[in-house]
Structure 1
Amino acid sequence: MLLVATHALLDPNFAATVVLILDVDDTGALGVVLNRPSGLPVAEVLEPWRDVVAEPEVLFQGGPVGIEGALAVALLRASTPSPVGFREVTGQLGLVDLDTPVELLEGSVAEMRIFAGYAGWGADQLDAEIEEGSWYVVSAQADDIFREDPSDLWRDVLRRQPGDLAWHSTRPVDPDLN
């Protein structure tokens, strides 16, 4: 699932973001922001993974929590069994342990993106934010996660939604200025 920030969400960490939810349980939720590429090449911080990551080959800002660490989200090639160092999230999508030698994943990964930090919510915190109107909850598509240019991701995800939700993709940040 994706969380798409509404205009009501004023926190600068999440304004106009699209968050891929990776894990939800009784203690909370964890995800990564998909549309915040940094200018830092992966090769400068995690050199062994430079040939594995999808374009653009930069570190993405996954969220405000744990920014000193990194999470790798990967899509396995079709019909590939889970290799060592891969933890399934759903289907062929999962997390890669960056301490795993790259050679053990060679040929298994179709696409991968590395995120510095993550977005996290405590128990019931995300539910409260959704209820107050801070997030739209929508289905994810594989091309949302690994698109080369994520600058229009927020609008594109909203635009494909049914009904009134698609209308929000054209809404200005401040409707009073319209």
Structure 2
Amino acid sequence: MEPDPVGAEKLTGKLLVAAPSLRGSTFDRAVILMLSHDGDGALGVMVNKPTEVLVGDVLPRWISVVSEPGVVFQGGPVSLDSALGLVAVGGSDEPLGIRRVRGRLGVVDLDTPAEIIEPAVTAMRVFAGYAGWAPDQLEGEIDEGSWYVVDSEPGDAFRTDAQDLWPVVLRRQGGQLALMATFPADPSMN
């Protein structure tokens, strides 16, 4: 097994906030929660891109567990036909069917019966697809200024106003990043 890249453990649980240079791409104003980052690459989900697809329409047994607004979120451009469940775990135990990512945050095996998971979690989101990077690819994108790496707060992944997360996260950083929050969605309309 290869050693982790320097600082890799620091990216798991962090947020990647898309720089304005990604405007017009899949990652336009994206906020990505990093779920893993090691010598094999990186994986995260966009926590601010709700779709109009109801969880009950695609995964009906999870409707009682999933948090409001009860829709599937676009996790990223990779494997759009797959689903990933993200949860906030209520206690310190390692519940069956949940792999902890960092702190209370975990990924749930959606083949686990919902009745087993429900008592152990305080929040849940379902994502279609994910964002993935090959080894060293993400580091290159960060170095070129495509992403701002910032700390996540406990409720970021489960906000009911998720679509407003990009400016919220930038504002709370202060300084130049807070100023970026005022960057117009369409600069030609400025």
1:48 to 33, 36, 61: 61
Q: How far apart, in 2, do the equivalents of 1:62 and 1:124 lie?
A: 21
Aligned to 2:82, the other structure's residue is in SS state strand
Name the Cα RMSD after superposition.
Answer: 1.4
Hey, what does 2:152 align to over in structure 1? 140
Hey, what does 2:131 align to over in structure 1? 119
Hey, what does 1:108 align to over in structure 2? 120
* 1:19 partner letter: I
Q: How far apart, in 1, do the equivalents of 2:188 and 2:66 lie?
A: 42
Deviation (angstroms), 1:93: 0.6
Hey, what does 1:60 align to over in structure 2? 73
Q: CA contact under 8 A between 1:40 and 1:59: conserved in structure 2?
A: yes
Deviation (angstroms), 1:5: 0.3
Q: Tell me the number of residue pairs that the alignment of Structure 1 and Structure 2 aligns.
A: 177
Hey, what does 1:152 align to over in structure 2? 164
Deviation (angstroms), 1:177: 6.1
* 1:1-178 map, 5 Å: 1-10=14-23, 12-77=25-90, 79-173=91-185, 178=190
Structure 1 runs not aligned, ≥5 long: none
Deviation (angstroms), 1:10: 3.7
With over 3 angstroms needed to count, the CA separation of the structure-2 counterparts of 1:55 and 1:174, relative to structure 1, is closer
Q: CA contact under 8 A between 2:23 and 2:29: conserved in structure 1?
A: no
Aligned to 2:181, the other structure's residue is in SS state helix
TM-score (norm 2): 0.89
What's the % identity of the aligned pairs?
51
Q: How far apart, in 2, do the equivalents of 1:11 and 1:151 lie?
A: 16
Deviation (angstroms), 1:162: 2.8
Q: How far apart, in 2, do the equivalents of 1:24 and 1:169 lie?
A: 27
Q: How far apart, in 2, do the equivalents of 1:58 and 1:175 lie?
A: 30
Q: How far apart, in 2, do the equivalents of 1:144 and 1:135 lie?
A: 17
Aligned to 1:103, the other structure's residue is in SS state helix
Q: How far apart, in 1, do the equivalents of 2:120 and 2:58 lie?
A: 22
Q: How far apart, in 2, do the equivalents of 1:34 and 1:113 lie?
A: 9
- Tell me which moved more, 90-99 or 161-170: 161-170
Aligned to 2:81, the other structure's residue is in SS state strand
Aligned to 1:19, the other structure's residue is in SS state strand
Q: How far apart, in 1, do the equivalents of 2:86 and 2:92 lie?
A: 16
